[in-house]
Structure formats: structure tokens, C-alpha cells
């Protein structure tokens, strides 16, 4: 296949020598297959020939696109957090809410934990990610080795999983269905900006290829990241560059260097067991308490879903059932299968298990929908005329989501392949990236 850069007008290529990744060898972080990757120009991506995992890519405009997306995202975030997000009106009370006001209300009502969760996932992590992105790419564009550049890149990459602006936006739509049946609801400008921000954050995140970034940093510092794969060297599972096995942490990205994550199954099993234990109180205890001068209603996840289904709100009931019941149960079941398969070499095909791992890792964050819905309802109804407060199950459920994500994070998927296949498959394909 011809290099994709040949199809790009010369005026748009920039310095192709600067943008390209040279031929080198990597070990797939999901199956351990050793792959010889050819030169990759802008717009090309490399995939593992055995499990299909995307190893890395070079963006269409690798130097200019990420900082442009990051700057646009920061501007959108500044406006989104400075404007009205949603207005909720009921007879005798009205709430005009901005995103900072929601956090203030939770702190005022002594629910600081939920305020911290919302702050970190919808503001703190995205802002820090975007600022680090601008810092790293400013260094690359100016060809200067800024202080702590590798550390900034490492933190930036890790923060991608902690950004949940898109989950919060979808949660608002779910909450709207519930709110509109009992109150007059109007979206403010910040709501529409949050949609644009969600799209831009996703675009920024996918446009930052850490493998390429670390290669560029190595060029700036004079420490060539590309080393020959040989005996006594280990491929870092984070940056995918070979380093001396005795070197720890990795000299390229600063991550712990190992052939397989130490005690992966034990740590993953411990987090999963804790999630299973906490899942019971998360479903049995009240997750939301609604009150008005006439009555008080205590809801668990299950009876809340049943109530909405009986009242005709079947769409929201289905969404909350999927996010609060189906996704956590399936993720716990999937992680159990993965851990058992890695420990006991069950007969299930390794490629199917790898697909299961990717799906499990991707969907876990969406279980936070239920928590965000409670936050929105709580902030909308906080007067004597109508009040919603989170029950103790909200904290347990939030911990279940975090623990299952940690279980997937610490699971080393290469263990699925160790007893099923061997390394050494030649790699000779690239795929165009739009």
C-alpha cells in the first residue's frame, strides 16, 4: 500500500520527515505479538496482525490539529461554565443552574463527595488535559525540550479516561425526560455548548497519539526512543518502545517497565471482588430520596426503574436500567470470564476474549449516567417545596463504577494469549486514518 501522504497536496503536508515514524519493532500491548512496523506517514495507522488492536497512528496534521482542538475546547469550556446550563420551574420554586452552581449546591447540602466527583470528571480532568496538551505541543512545534515534558505527556495520556463531559451531557438528556413530566424545563446556552465541548474533547483525545508524541520528544532531547528489539530488552506497554529490561521506570515515558504486569490477576480480582461486594448495597439501599410538603418517597435503583416504567417513562427506565443494572452486571461477568480465562486457560478463543476486553474497558464509564442524573435532579429540586437528595447507595454505586474500571485497568490482556499462541507473526500492513 502506498504511503497515504502521497495523496495529500504538498502544501498541506508540512515537513513529512518530521511527521513520519520510522520503521521499528513493537510488541502488541494486548496480545504480546511482536510486529515489524513499516514507516508511517501522516494519516496512517498500524494494527496488530494477530488481535487487530490499533498499535498507534500518525494524525493527518499531527503537529497542528491537537493544539487547535485543545484551544477550541478550552474556549468552549470557559463559556459553558460561565453560562446558564438548565432552568427548572415548578409552582412556588424555580432553579436557574450553571455548572459551578450545581457543585456549590452539593457542597452546601453536605454532599461534597458528589461535588468532587462532578468537578474532577467534568472540569478538573478535562482542563488539566487540555492545558498539558497545549504545553506538550508548544514544545514540539517550537522544537524546545520544555521542563518535565515526558511527565506532562504521561499525565496527559492518563487523563483521557477520566474525562466524562460526554457522559454528563447524555445524563442531562435522561434527567430532562424525568424533569419534564413534573416541571417546566428550559436548556440554557451552556447545555448546547456542552454538546460541542463533548465533541471537541473526543476529537482532541483521539488526535493525541502518545507513541508518536514520545518519538518527537526523543528527537528534542537527543534520546532516540527507537531501539532494536533484542535479548535483554522489554517493550514498554505504555509507549511501545523497547528499553533495557533492567531499566525502571521506562526511560521514554516513565511508566513501570515489565513484560507482563506483576500480580495483574490478583490485583484485578481484588478490585472486582470489592465491586461485587459493594454492588449489593448499591442496589438494596436508597439511591434517591424525594420529598415535598405532602409526602416523602424513597427509591432504590430497581424500584425507581419499575416506577418510571409503570408511569410510562419507558425510555428513561430503559436507559437507567442499561446504565445502572445491565452494564455493571455484564462488566463484572465479563471481567470474571477474562480473569478465569487468563488464570485457567479456558477453551474460549483468545481473539474473542480480546474483543470482550476492549468492549468491557470502553463501556464501563457510562455507568456514571445514574450518578450524574441524581446530581442534576438534586440540584434542580433543592427547596422545601420539592427536594431530591442522594441516598447512601449513590456512594456505593459510584465506588462500584470506579472499582470495575480499576479492575479492567490492572488486567493484562496479554495473559489471555500466553497459553494460546506464540509471538513472531510478521507485520506488513498499514491502514489509512481519516
pLDDT tens for 374-386 read 888 888 876 666 6
CA 269, CA 263: separation in Å to the nearest integer? Answer: 10
User: Can you give the length of the chain in residues?
Assistant: 434
Predicted confidence band at 18 (pLDDT cuts at 50, 70, 90)?
confident
* CA–CA dist 126, 159 (Å, integer): 8
Confidence band of 324 (pLDDT split at 50, 70, 90): confident
pLDDT of residue 433: 35
> In 3-state terms, the chain is what percent helix, strand and coil (to 5)?
55, 10, 30
Q: Are 43 and 60 in contact (CB under 8 A)?
A: yes
Least confident of 42-46, 172-176, 232-236, 315-319: 315-319
Cis peptide bond N-terminal to 347, omega within 30: no
Distance CA 327, CA 400 (A): 11
Look at the pTM and tell me if it is higher than 0.75.
Answer: yes
Q: Are 206 and 174 in contact (CB under 8 A)?
A: no
- The residues with which 432 forms a beta bridge, in sequence order, are 44
| Cα separation, 316 vs 269, whole angstroms | 33
Q: pLDDT tens for residues 338-349?
A: 999 888 877 778
Least confident of 26-40, 123-137, 211-225: 211-225
Full set of structural domains in the chain with CATH: 263-420 (1.20.140)
Task: Tell me the average pLDDT across 190-197.
Answer: 96
What are the distances in angstroms from CA 218 to CA 59, 65, 102, 391, 407? 18, 20, 43, 50, 32
Model confidence at 16: pLDDT above 50: no
- Mean predicted lDDT score pLDDT of the chain: 84
Q: What is residue 378's three-state secondary structure? A: helix
What is the spatial distance between Cα 106 and Cα 392, in angstroms, rounded to a whole number?
A: 15
How confident is the model over 110-164, as pLDDT tens digits?
888 889 999 999 999 999 999 999 999 999 999 998 999 999 999 999 999 889 9
Q: How far is 382 from 104, CA to CA, in rounded Å?
A: 12
Amino acid at each position: 500500500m502506498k504511503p497515504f501522504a502521497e495523496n495529500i497536496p504538498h502544501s498541506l503536508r508540512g515537513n513529512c520527515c518530521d511527521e513520519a515514524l520510522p520503521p521499528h519493532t513493537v510488541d502488541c500491548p494486548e496480545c504480546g505479538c511482536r510486529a515489524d512496523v513499516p514507516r508511517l506517514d501522516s494519516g496512517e495507522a498500524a494494527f496488530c496482525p494477530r488481535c487487530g488492536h490499533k498499535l498507534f497512528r500518525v494524525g493527518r496534521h499531527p503537529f497542528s490539529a491537537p493544539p487547535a482542538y485543545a484551544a477550541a475546547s478550552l474556549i468552549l469550556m470557559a463559556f459553558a461554565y460561565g453560562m446558564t446550563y438548565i432552568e427548572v420551574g415548578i409552582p412556588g420554586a424555580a432553579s436557574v443552574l450553571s455548572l459551578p452552581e450545581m457543585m456549590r449546591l452539593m457542597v452546601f447540602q453536605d454532599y461534597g463527595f458528589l461535588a468532587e466527583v462532578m468537578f474532577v470528571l467534568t472540569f478538573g480532568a478535562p482542563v488539566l488535559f487540555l492545558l498539558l496538551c497545549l504545553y506538550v505541543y508548544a514544545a514540539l512545534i517550537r522544537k524546545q525540550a520544555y521542563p518535565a515534558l515526558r511527565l506532562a505527556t504521561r499525565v496527559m495520556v492518563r487523563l483521557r479516561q477520566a474525562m466524562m463531559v460526554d457522559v454528563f451531557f447524555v445524563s442531562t438528556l435522561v434527567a430532562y425526560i424525568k424533569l419534564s413530566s413534573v416541571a417546566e424545563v428550559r436548556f440554557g446556552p451552556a447545555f448546547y455548548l456542552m454538546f460541542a465541548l463533548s465533541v471537541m474533547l473526543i476529537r482532541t483525545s483521539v488526535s493525541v497519539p502518545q507513541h508518536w508524541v514520545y518519538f518527537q520528544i526523543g528527537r528534542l532531547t537527543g534520546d532516540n526512543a527507537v531501539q532494536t528489539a533484542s535479548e535483554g530488552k522489554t517493550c514498554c506497554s505504555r509507549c511501545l518502545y523497547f528499553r533495557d529490561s533492567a531499566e525502571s521506570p521506562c526511560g521514554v515515558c516513565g511508566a513501570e517497565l515489565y513484560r507482563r504486569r506483576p500480580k495483574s490477576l490478583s490485583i484485578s480480582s481484588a478490585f472486582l471482588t470489592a465491586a461485587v461486594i459493594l454492588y449489593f448495597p448499591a442496589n438494596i439501599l436508597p439511591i434517591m430520596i424525594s420529598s415535598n410538603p405532602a409526602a416523602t418517597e424513597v427509591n432504590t435503583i430497581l424500584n425507581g426503574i419499575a416506577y418510571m416504567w409503570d408511569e410510562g417513562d419507558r425510555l428513561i427506565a430503559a436507559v437507567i436500567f442499561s446504565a445502572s443494572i445491565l452494564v455493571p452486571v455484564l462488566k463484572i461477568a465479563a471481567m470474571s470470564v477474562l480473569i478465569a480465562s487468563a488464570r485457567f486457560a479456558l477453551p474460549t478463543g483468545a481473539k474473542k476474549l480480546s474483543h470482550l476486553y476492549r468492549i468491557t474497558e470502553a463501556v464501563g464509564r457510562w455507568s456514571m449516567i445514574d450518578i450524574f442524573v441524581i446530581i442534576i435532579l438534586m440540584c434542580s429540586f433543592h427547596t422545601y417545596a420539592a427536594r431530591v437528595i442522594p441516598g447512601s447507595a449513590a456512594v456505593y454505586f459510584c465506588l462500584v463504577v470506579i472499582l470495575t474500571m480499576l479492575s479492567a485497568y490492572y488486567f493484562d490482556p496479554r495473559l489471555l494469549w500466553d497459553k494460546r499462541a506464540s509471538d513472531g507473526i510478521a507485520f506488513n500492513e498499514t491502514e489509512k486514518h481519516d
